Structure 1
Amino acid sequence: MIVGLAVSAACAVGALIAMGGVMAMALPGRPQPWTVHLMHRAAWLAACAAAAVYSLGLFGVLASEQEFGNGADSVPAPACRDGFDRDTVRHLTHHRSSYLPLRFDCVRDDGTTYPGDSNYGWMNWTTLFLLLTAALLVIGAGYLTEFRARKDKR
């Protein structure tokens, strides 16, 4: 669990450094063409933020998996029991976890499921949005570079 927080914190520090790079583009003496540099730095910011959010969720799923079957009172998974009322937890049979997309589902004997943690939904969507943003910024920077190269040939 500590390793997961450390990895997420390292990614968050990388995102803060990238944010400093983005903000430095507002200062005098910025590199030219500044728009391309700004797009690259913003892409790094989005990618580091996506890594921070995803690693936080990844290690949450790993921790829930590790708690299962590890000592007394660990079956069914504590993530499926803790914080839920008795009627919800009744008749639990097993759980299903996934790392892509992040999820930890608890399964009852009638086949119905409920999420072990509702935070995985926003983590998945945030990671996807940030990765798409990073990709679009990199593609946009490449397009802008190509456009300038063609314009200079004329």
Structure 2
Amino acid sequence: MFVLLMYGALFAAPLWAIAVAVKLVSVALPGRRPDWARDLLCWSAGMAAAAAVITYTIGLGAVQWEASEAESGAGSSPAVPCRSLAPGALDRLAGHEPSYVPLGFDCLLDDGSVVAGSGPYTLLNAVAAAFALAAVLALIAVGFVDEYRARPARRGRATEGGGAGSLSA
């Protein structure tokens, strides 16, 4: 199932890149709305979240692909990510276990220890986490922009009413 989702994510990745490029061009052109900065932050948060999901989905598909390859067919043992282990560790290989959270492929040795298999999983975890962090930071920035814009409006309302300590006759 994750492999099918991976294909969808691989299809979505170039569309995501095109959308980002078009948005950057639209921001650079004249004729922007006055509140374009807040809209750009909101849009950036959404696109960063989408990038995190796309990246993680590609990683899920890669893990499931490797697990499927390791369980069927000639030449499937040892699993491809475990083939790059040191010769001493490769001789003691007892099995493998895919990890979906965080992404990874673990090679189990006969003494019960676990060695991380080769693959792009560390990079995919880091990229997905970076995009997720960027999305959260952009949403926090939207909150700060909203608060910054609301402060002068609150000060204006407080002075129009004569302040909190004024007496009216």
* TM-score category (smaller protein): 0.7 to 0.9
Whether the 8 Å CA contact 1:106–1:113 is kept in 2: the answer is: yes
Report what 2:48 is aligned to.
46
Give the deviation of 1:86 after TM superposition. Answer: 4.1
Moved over 3 A (4+): 83-88
Whether the 8 Å CA contact 1:54–1:127 is kept in 2: the answer is: yes
The count of corresponding residues between Structure 1 and Structure 2 is 153
Q: Deviations over 1:38-90 (max 9, x none)?
A: 21222233223222321221111010111232233324423322x45643421
For 1:101 and 1:24, the matched residues in 2 are separated by 36
The alignment status of 1:108 with 2:109, answered yes or no, reads: yes
Report what 1:92 is aligned to.
93
Report % sequence identity.
Answer: 33
Report what 2:121 is aligned to.
120
For 2:14 and 2:115, the matched residues in 1 are separated by 30
> Pairwise mapping of residues 1-154 of structure 1 onto structure 2 (< 5 A)?
1=3, 4-81=6-83, 83-84=84-85, 86-153=87-154, 154=156
Moved more, 11-20 or 120-129: 11-20
Give the deviation of 1:109 after TM superposition. Answer: 0.7
Amino acid of the structure 2 residue aligned with 1:121:
T
Whether the 8 Å CA contact 1:11–1:48 is kept in 2: the answer is: no
Give the deviation of 1:3 after TM superposition. Answer: 5.3
Amino acid of the structure 2 residue aligned with 1:137:
A
Equivalent residue of 2:28, what SS? coil
C-alpha RMSD over aligned residues: 2.3
Report what 2:165 is aligned to.
none
Amino acid of the structure 1 residue aligned with 2:20:
A
Give the deviation of 1:2 after TM superposition. Answer: 6.6
Equivalent residue of 1:31, what SS? coil
- Normalized against structure 2, the TM-score is what? 0.76
Amino acid of the structure 1 residue aligned with 2:26:
A
For 1:109 and 1:40, the matched residues in 2 are separated by 51
For 1:148 and 1:3, the matched residues in 2 are separated by 41
Whether the 8 Å CA contact 1:93–1:107 is kept in 2: the answer is: yes
Whether the 8 Å CA contact 1:31–1:37 is kept in 2: the answer is: no
Seen in structure 2, the aligned counterparts of structure 1 residues 12 and 49 have a Cα distance that, compared at 3 Å, is: farther
